[in-house]
């Protein structure tokens, strides 16, 4: 149940970022890229299922899965750690995202 809650929370946050942080002129580009990356990830997942179809490969697949999630979390944190001016405007109440006087 907790994994579903995390998944749904991620979807809500992702949708909010797409709806508020992407200019309307680039929405199709972002949506198309998202679908392409998701399709590529699904292709890799299916290829791994074909290649590592024996029960003895489960440990390797579990480690690969955890590594993928950790890598994605690291990339997301790096993205949040270097906010753009648009992100600072979206999240004006967070002191981490305050605009700095130049």
Task: Note whether residue 74 is domain-resident.
Answer: yes
> pLDDT tens digits for 5-38?
877 887 888 788 777 777 778 778 888 888 898 8
Task: Note whether residue 15 is domain-resident.
Answer: no
Task: Note whether residue 65 is domain-resident.
Answer: yes
Task: Note whether residue 78 is domain-resident.
Answer: yes
> pLDDT tens digits for 54-67?
888 888 888 988 99
How many structural domains are present in the chain? 1
Task: Note whether residue 35 is domain-resident.
Answer: no
Task: Note whether residue 76 is domain-resident.
Answer: yes
Q: Does the pTM exceed 0.75?
A: no
pLDDT score for 95: 64
DSSP calls for 8-59:
HHHHHHHHHHHHHHS-GGGHHHHHHHHHHHHHHHHHHHHHHHHHT-SGGGHH
List the domain range (segments joined by +) for residue 63: 57-93
């Amino acid at each position: 149940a907790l994994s579903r809650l995390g998944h749904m929370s991620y979807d809500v946050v992702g949708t909010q970022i797409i709806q508020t942080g992407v200019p309307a002129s680039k929405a199709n580009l972002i949506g198309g890229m998202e679908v392409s990356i998701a399709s590529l990830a699904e292709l890799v997942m299916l290829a791994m299922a074909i290649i590592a179809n024996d029960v003895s490969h489960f440990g390797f697949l579990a480690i690969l899965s955890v590594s993928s999630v950790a890598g994605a979390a690291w990339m997301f944190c790096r993205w949040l750690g270097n906010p753009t001016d648009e992100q600072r405007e979206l999240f004006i109440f967070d002191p981490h995202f305050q605009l700095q006087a130049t």
